Amino acid sequence: SELTAFLGYDPYAREDWNYGNSRNGSYFRQVKTQFGPIKVQVPRDRKGEFHQHTLPAYGQHTDTIESTVIQLYSHGVTTREISDLIEKMYGSYYSAGTVSNISKQVA
């Protein structure tokens, strides 16, 4: 629907087709969420001017995991314990160093 609003015509519409910019297939991205990894289909336009706003560019995970790390760190949980908890809760592996880098946002 974002691409439809951007281009100004519906898929398979013939009246505005092939004037200026048009649809050009799609690609898949995997995003880690609080519910586990999901596969998202992202549409493309012919000129490469369309940018999706529902997911940040180059983002591989949602902010939910980062905010969980920050909350746990602010309550005194160690980086290794947080790393283990994130892996058990979300199925995503975060090293103790990655957790430490995320927790530096608190300071």
Please, what are the averages of pLDDT over each run of 10 residues along the chain (107 residues)? Answer: 81 70 85 75 87 70 75 87 83 80 70
Is residue 29 within 8 A of residue 55, CB to CB? The reply is: yes
Is residue 1 within 8 A of residue 50, CB to CB? The reply is: no
Split into its structural domains, the chain has a count of 2
Q: Quote the longest CA-to-CA distance of the chain.
A: 61
* Inside any domain, residue 52: no
Predicted confidence at residue 14, as pLDDT, reads 72
68 shares its domain with 95: yes
Write out the residue range of the structural domain in which residue 31 sits: 2-45
Helices of type H across the chain: 2-7, 63-74, 79-90, 96-103
Distance between CA atoms of 24 and 38, rounded to whole angstroms?
A: 23
DSSP helix/strand/coil, 102: helix
Predicted confidence at residue 61, as pLDDT, reads 61
Predicted confidence at residue 16, as pLDDT, reads 59
Predicted confidence at residue 105, as pLDDT, reads 65
Predicted confidence at residue 38, as pLDDT, reads 80
